Amino acid sequence: MSWSSVIIAGILTYLTRTTMITLVDRRVLSTKLIQVLGYVPAAVFPAIIFPAIFFNDYGNLVEVTNPKIFGALVAITVGYLSRNIIATIFSGLISYWVIIFLL
């Protein structure tokens, strides 16, 4: 089950990579579509980020004081100011650990 879906996901991913290089003339993509594709990261990743922060393991909304919300805010601030990916991830993790283990 999982193996076959990994293989299908792999084929699909490879097709996204190769389609425009080998199969399709790039001029068939309208400029509008190319512009919209530029928003794909902004459209996809929040759908992972928001539920992971605002819901607990049982699918209920967490309280405003939840350490995950605090950790995410720290990470966003550090990331915005530093433009550094590692600093972003670790500032968030460490502030989260400080709250759950020390406070």
Residue 52 CB, nearest approach to another protein (Å): 4
With beta carbons less than 8 A apart as the criterion, state whether 95 and 76 touch.
Answer: no
Report in angstroms the alpha-carbon separations of 31 from 1, 28, 38, 41: 39, 9, 11, 18
Q: Which stretches of the chain bind another protein, using CB under 8 A?
A: 1-10, 12-14, 16-22, 26, 29, 32, 34-55, 59, 68, 71-72, 75-76, 79-80, 83, 85-86, 88-89, 92-93, 96-97, 100
Which residue, 86 or 102, has its beta carbon nearer to another protein? 86
d(Cα 17, Cα 22) in Å, to the nearest integer?
Answer: 9
Residue 103 CB, nearest approach to another protein (Å): 15
At 61, phi and psi to the nearest 5?
A: -60, 140
Residue 38 CB, nearest approach to another protein (Å): 7
Amino acid code (one letter) for 86:
I
